[in-house]
Amino acid sequence: MIDKDLVQLFLETNEWQKFECKRAAIQPAKLLETVVAFANADGGFLVIGLEDPKKAEDEKRLIGISEYTDNVSEFLKLINKELDPPFRHYKTFEIEIINTQKKDDKLVVVKIEKSNDIHSLKRGDTFIRRGNQNVKMTAEEIIRFKYEKGTIKFESESSKINTLEEIDKKLLIEYKRDTESKSKDDWQFLKDNGLAVKIGHGYELTNAGVLIFSKNPSVLLGRKVGLKISHYYGTKPSYSGTPNFVRRPFSIEGPLMHQIETAIEYFRSVAKSAPPKLHGAGFQSSLLIPEWAFQEAITNAVIHRNYFIQNDIQIRLFDDRIEIESPGTYPGHITPNNIRTERFSRNPIILRTLNRFSIAPNLDIGEGVDRIFKVMQENNLYEPLYYPQSFRPNSVLLILLNLQKINYWDTVNKYLEEHYRITNNEARKITGVKDTLKMTRLLKSWVDKGLLEQHGMKKSSYYSKTGREIVQGLFSMGDENKT
């Protein structure tokens, strides 16, 4: 993008979860609050020299940094000095503008990455971004958020359980065999693998030990740590009259491996009983989602969910999709934008232990999510939808669409990966569709599926990928200017 396009994009974007604009006259300390808030949440962009959209319109907002360049310089110095722990995952770049005085000027853009840590100002305040506000966190919220980020490991804490009576001995024997362990002392073996801790002269299971090996972790830990499956006829729940359940919603409890295996078995039963539909010259199952994609999605949810939150993983099956919603937001620096390429484990012990079973449901080679995308693509299905935190504040929602792609989707999707938005006219140009109404119907169908969002009305409307209110391409800009 050239500068004028970026400026126009900024002028059209309201302040929200990942975007804020400030005049250069603001106190540098206030700008630091936004850096901390973005770093602690999902990252974002801070544009300095741009007036608040509530106070001016269009080009009248282009004040520029010449209004108070010393403030900007001081702010950039303070980022490296006044945050605890130190924060280095940001970049800056400048955009040339003509300011409201008709003079050459600049905007300074600060790109703040989501951090693995919880950052505070050295004066003691900790902020998080919620909507378009920087919100000061309480001590209790900070503790809860540390579990969310993964800086405090719930899985490593003692469960206070000092007996192996409720352990699935057969599963433990299987694990010891698979890891070729020669240890005869079960407690010592569990401790050596991060699944127990030594307390005084005895041992206690860690929460991970209970989750992986106990007969019923939900009972022993006194919290919801299982799976809940709800299977519906149609494409949405019915809240009036007779519920449209294929079967009554049910919970899956027990060791984590059992939870994963039982969920996969249910998927197989659904696939086996799904009525065939005519497709092309032949028939195929009406459940198009590959078992492997479902298995990987469920395994990821079980491994990476936040077990500090007392809730089950929700699996909802509809005719046109499967929804998997796991407690806790994206861990560490993971976001929907980088989930295919980045790695961060909130529960590394659970990840490691499940991977060491000979029938491991996970490969632990860092390709799981990316392979879900590839398998769905190979089967001509729409890409998986990971919803952003702004849509689901306290959970990770993944949707696997049980729908064959419309031919034009790949072209539109590729365009949106490189640009922020697309209009009906632009979509017709890149797809070759000449009929405006036909393209409108196509775009609306993608909105209905959750693939796109519509912005504006009628002739001025445009579309963006769900949850991407800021052009994704900006996240690769300014790399050469890393501060």
**What CATH number is associated with residue 11?**
3.30.950.30
State the pLDDT at residue 279: 59
Confidence of residue 475 (pLDDT cuts 50, 70, 90): very low
Residue 212 within any structural domain of the chain: yes
Instruction: Give me the percent of the chain exceeding a pLDDT of 90.
Output: 78
Mean pLDDT of the 390-416 span: 92
**pLDDT for res 285:** 75
Whether residue 53 is contained in a domain is answered as yes
Closest to 62 measured CA to CA, from 28, 92, 102: 102
409 to 25, 295, 412, 442: CA distances (angstroms): 45, 26, 5, 9
For the chain, give the percent of residues with pLDDT over 70: 93
146 within some domain: no
480 pLDDT band (50/70/90 cuts)? very low
> What is the residue-wise DSSP string for 166-180?
TB-HHHHHHHHHHTT
Geometric angle at alpha carbon 246, from 242 and 248, rounded to 5°: 75
Q: Express each pLDDT in 27-86 by its tens digit.
A: 999 999 999 999 999 999 999 999 999 999 999 999 999 999 999 999 999 999 999 999
Q: Are residues 252 and 380 in the same domain?
A: yes
Residues 483 and 91: beta-carbon distance below 8 Å? yes
Q: Is 287 left (phi over 0), alpha (psi -120 to 50) or beta?
A: beta
Same domain, 291 and 383: yes
When pLDDT is cut at 50, 70 and 90, the band that residue 483 belongs to is very low
Boundary-marking domain end, from 221, 256, 279 = 221
Structure tokens at 64: 């520029």
Q: Which residue has the tokens 């100002």?
A: 121
pLDDT in tens, 271-306: 999 887 655 555 667 899 999 999 999 999 999 999
Q: Residue 147 falls within a domain, yes or no?
A: no
Question: Do residues 238 and 328 both lie within one domain?
Answer: yes
pLDDT at residue 417 greater than cutoff 70: yes
Is 143 inside a domain boundary?
no
Q: At 297, phi and psi to the nearest 5?
A: -65, -45
Q: How many domains does the chain have?
A: 4
Residue 144 is assigned to a structural domain of this protein: no
Same domain, 351 and 418: no
Last residue of a domain, one of 109, 137, 165: 137
Return the closest-CA partner of residue 382 out of 398, 396, 403, 413.
403
Q: Is 234 found in the same domain as 201?
A: no
189 pLDDT exceeds 80?
yes
Residue 379 inside a domain? The answer is yes
C-beta separation of 247 from 224 below 8 A:
no
Any idea which of 168-177, 278-287, 375-384, 416-425 has the lowest mean pLDDT?
A: 278-287
**Residue 392, pLDDT score:** 80
**Can you read off the two tokens belonging to residue 99?**
């300011």
Label residue 473 by pLDDT band (50, 70, 90): very low
Q: Which domain holds residue 361?
A: 227-401
Which residues face 96 on adjacent strands? Answer: 106
Q: Are residues 388 and 423 in the same domain?
A: no
Query: Closest Cα partner for 107 from 23, 176, 172?
Result: 23
- Pairing of the two strands 120-121 and 158-161: unpaired
**CA 187, CA 357: separation in Å to the nearest integer?**
19
Co-location of 284 and 342 in the same domain: yes
Supply the CATH number for residue 324's domain. Answer: 3.30.565.60
**Mean pLDDT value across the chain:** 91
For residue 26, is pLDDT > 90? yes
The answer to whether the CB of 115 falls within 8 A of the CB of 39 is: yes
Q: Name which of 119-133, 139-153, 281-295, 439-453 the model is least confident about.
A: 281-295
The dihedral sign for the CA sequence 370, 371, 374, 379 = negative
**pLDDT at 442 exceeding the cut of 50:** yes
Q: Name the strand (E) or helix (H) holding 256.
A: helix 256-273
Say if residues 380 and 32 touch (Cβ distance below 8 Å). no
Tokens in use for 302?
């079980």
Q: Are strands 227-232 and 202-206 parallel, antiparallel or unpaired?
A: unpaired
The whole-number average pLDDT for the span 310-334 is: 96
Q: Is the predicted pLDDT of residue 163 greater than 60, yes or no?
A: yes
- Are residue 319 and residue 467 in the same domain, yes or no? no
Q: Closest by alpha carbon to 354, among 152, 149, 211?
A: 211
Q: Residue 36 to residues 27, 72, 118, 231, 319: CA-CA distances in angstroms?
A: 15, 17, 9, 42, 43
Q: What is the DSSP string of 9-62?
A: HHHHPPPBTTEEEE-TTS-HHHHHHHHHHHHHTT-EEEEETB--TTT--GGGGB
Task: Note the pLDDT of residue 275.
Answer: 80
Q: In this structure, what token pair is assigned to residue 433?
A: 């569709």
> Residue 444: which CATH number?
1.10.10.10
Q: Is 90 exceeded by the pLDDT of residue 359?
A: no
Reported pTM:
0.88
415 and 397 in a common domain: no
Question: In this structure, what token pair is assigned to residue 241?
Answer: 């009259």
Statement to judge: residues 30 and 132 lie in one domain:
yes
The answer to whether position 128 is within a domain reads yes
Mean pLDDT of 4-21: 88
Domain shared by 376 and 356, yes or no:
yes
Strands (E), 83-195: 83-84, 90-98, 104-112, 120-121, 127-130, 133-136, 158-161
Q: Residue 278's pLDDT is what?
A: 56
Does 445 score more than 60 pLDDT? yes
Same domain, 243 and 388: yes
Residue 112, by phi and psi: left (phi above 0), alpha (psi -120 to 50) or beta?
beta
Residue where a domain stops, chosen among 110, 137, 164: 137
* Burial environment of residue 364 by CB neighbours within 10 A (0 to 12, 13 to 18, 19 or more): middle
Q: Does residue 190 or residue 470 have the better pLDDT?
A: 190
76 C-beta neighbours (distance < 10 Å), count: 17
β-bridge pairing 19-22 and 44-48: parallel
pLDDT of residue 5: 82
